[in-house]
């Protein structure tokens, strides 16, 4: 995982240059090669090569004949993906807020991106002492309640990759835990990522049982000191996940 982080922090200069060209269209929806050269400071030959590549992939339209370039249909497709994520945040926040008010604990909605989980939305709890994560923060899947929920409902191939990366002495235990999470429909972690914290998470599913994300509540381990509180919190998280699954399935139903 450390190697993956180091690679993530490295930048490919040619990709950065292509993105700089695309950003020029924020100035105007129709640009010539000369316009882009002036905006980026790149040479004409380089801009022409980048535009040719972007045009081939559908990110810009136009060419030498017209002398003008415009954003391409591929950008529109990506925009629709962003809109879907943005709409998801709007729909998820009321559920997180309601759960935080009922329990007093901080609540979070995670989605899976590749082999990691990402904080999509967050509501702070009403209790004075709480643990915080940031929207956009990335974490591993093999630890923490939400991570294990996302892992349990991930496609088999990707789930296998994550489990295979685990140390041999914990691999079998992780497989059994993931199976248990899938069977019971929720996950609970105590002191996994932080020795003083607990988290409980459940999957939010489409009608086809494909996972949309994981809803989670978390707080200091001292507040989960008895069985009654644990059962109450599990019930609350399952109720929130069921209601949100129904709502999101209806909203995104085609």
Task: Report if residue 221 sits inside a domain.
Answer: yes
pLDDT at 10 (0 to 100): 61
Q: Which residue has the tokens 């905006």?
A: 39
Task: Report if residue 66 sits inside a domain.
Answer: yes
> Which class for 253: exposed (0-12), middle (13-18), buried (19 or more C-beta within 10 A)?
exposed
Q: Are residues 19 and 121 part of one domain?
A: no
| pTM score | 0.69
Cβ pair 254, 215 in contact under 8 A: no
Q: Are residues 61 and 91 part of one domain?
A: no
The DSSP secondary-structure symbol of 129 reads: S
Task: Report if residue 155 sits inside a domain.
Answer: yes
Of residues 232, 230, 234, 240, the one with CA closest to residue 121: 240
Which of 49, 71, 93 is where one domain is finished?
Answer: 71
Q: Are residues 141 and 28 part of one domain?
A: no
Domain of residue 64 covers 11-71
Edge to edge, what strands does the sheet with 116-123 contain? Answer: 138-140, 116-123, 106-113, 211-220, 197-205, 187-190
Q: Are residues 214 and 115 part of one domain?
A: yes
Q: Are residues 234 and 109 part of one domain?
A: yes
Of residues 117, 91, 95, the one with CA closest to residue 239: 95
Phi-psi group of 136: left, alpha or beta (phi > 0 → left; psi -120 to 50 → alpha; rest → beta): left
What digits encode the pLDDT tens for the residues 196-247? 899 999 999 988 788 999 999 999 998 888 899 999 999 999 999 999 999 8
What's the residue count for the chain? 254
What digits encode the pLDDT tens for the residues 120-164? 899 998 887 777 788 888 888 888 999 999 999 998 888 888 888
Task: Report if residue 38 sits inside a domain.
Answer: yes
Task: Report if residue 122 sits inside a domain.
Answer: yes
Q: What is the CATH number of the domain that holds 20?
A: 1.10.10.10
Query: Greater confidence, 249 or 205?
Result: 205
Tokens read off for 85: 């994520």
């Amino acid at each position: 995982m450390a190697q993956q982080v180091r690679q993530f922090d490295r930048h490919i200069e040619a990709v950065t240059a292509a993105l700089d060209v695309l950003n020029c269209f924020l100035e105007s929806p129709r640009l010539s090669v000369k316009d882009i050269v002036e905006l980026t400071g790149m040479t004409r030959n380089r801009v022409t090569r980048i535009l040719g590549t972007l045009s081939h992939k559908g990110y810009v339209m136009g060419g030498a004949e017209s002398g003008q370039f415009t954003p391409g249909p591929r950008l529109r497709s990506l925009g629709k993906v962003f809109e879907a994520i943005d709409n998801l945040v709007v729909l998820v926040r009321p559920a997180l807020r309601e759960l935080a008010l009922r329990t007093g604990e901080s609540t979070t909605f995670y989605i899976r991106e590749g082999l990691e989980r990402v904080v999509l939305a967050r509501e702070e709890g009403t209790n004075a002492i709480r643990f915080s994560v940031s929207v956009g923060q990335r974490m591993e899947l093999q630890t923490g309640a939400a991570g294990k929920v996302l892992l349990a409902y991930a496609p088999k191939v990707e789930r296998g990759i994550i489990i295979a990366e685990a140390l041999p002495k914990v691999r079998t235990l992780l497989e059994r835990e993931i199976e248990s999470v899938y069977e019971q429909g929720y996950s609970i972690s105590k002191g996994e990522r932080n020795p003083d914290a607990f988290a409980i998470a459940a999957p939010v599913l489409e009608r086809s049982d494909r996972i949309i994300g994981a809803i989670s509540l978390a707080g200091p381990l001292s507040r989960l000191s008895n069985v009654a509180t644990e059962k109450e919190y599990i019930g609350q998280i399952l109720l929130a996940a069921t209601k949100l699954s129904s709502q999101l399935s209806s909203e995104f139903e085609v």
